[in-house]
A = this chain, B = another copy of it.
Amino acid sequence: MIDEIKAIARRHLATDGANLSLRAVARDLGMVSSAVYRYFPSRDHLLTALIIDAYDALGAVAERADAAGPRDDLLGRWLAVAGAIRSWALDNPHEYALIYGSPVPGYAAPADTVPPATRTTAVLAALLRDAVAARSGSGDGGGPPLPAAVREDLRRIAADPRFGGIPDAALARGLALWTELFGMLSFELFGQFNNVIEHRDAFFDFQMRTAAAVAGLG
C-alpha cells in the first residue's frame, strides 16, 4: 500500500513536480485524502520517501552497470555506468529533477536521504580506485597544484572507506568527472541543449570518452 502510494505519487511528479498534491494522489488511489495519513505522516514525508527511492534506484542502476563488465576494462565500466545513469535519468526525468534539480522551497531533506545519495558516487569512487591501482602510480600529470584548502576537503572525504585509498589528485579529478557527468545530464534534461545539441547520445558518449581520457580512465 505504501508502495502503491509512492508509485502514484511518482506519476504525479510529472505534472506537479515537487509540489505534488497529497489530495490528488489520494484521488488517484480511489481513497479519501485523509486515508493517506495512515501511511505517511505528512506530505513532506512522502516527498522524502520519493527522494530516497530515487537515489536508491539510481544507485542500483549504477552498481549493476558497473558489475556487468570485466573488472579491468576501466573505460568500459565508466561508459557503462555513465550511460546507465543517463538512461535512468531520461526514463525518469522528474525523479532526476527531484534529486539533482533545484531545491524544493520550504523543504529540507532529512539526514536519511544522505546514504542513498552516496551510492552512485561510491560506484564512481570504486572505479577511480581501480584506475589508480592499474596505473600503479603513474603520477598525476600536470595541471595546477592542489590548494591546501581543497586537500583538507579531500582528506575528509577519504575518511569514508568507500572513498579512501585514492590519491588526492585523482580524487579531485574524480570530482570533476562527477560534476561533468551530472552537468551534462542536467543541461540535457533541463533544456539547455534545446536547439544546441540534437545528437545527444553521440554527444554524451563523446564527452564521456573525452572526460575519461583526461582523467586517465582509459
Contact = CB atoms under 8 A, between A and B. Distances in A.
A103 interface: yes
B199 A150 contact: yes
Nearest to A142: B213
A204 B163 CA distance: 20
A114 B196 CA distance: 11
Contacts of A143: 209-210, 213-214
Interface stretch (A3-11, A40-48, A80-88, A171-179): A171-179
Prevailing SS type, chain A contact patch: helix
Interface in A175-218: 175-176, 179-184, 186-187, 190-192, 195-199, 201-203, 205-207, 209-211, 213-214
Given A19-B19, A182-B187, A199-B149, A101 B104 contact: no
Contacts of A175: 197, 203, 207
B106 A97 contact: no
A196 B156 CA distance: 8
A152 interface: yes
B102 A150 contact: no
Contacts of A97: 102-103
Nearest to A172: B206
Interface in A85-128: 97-98, 100-106, 109, 114
B144 A210 contact: yes
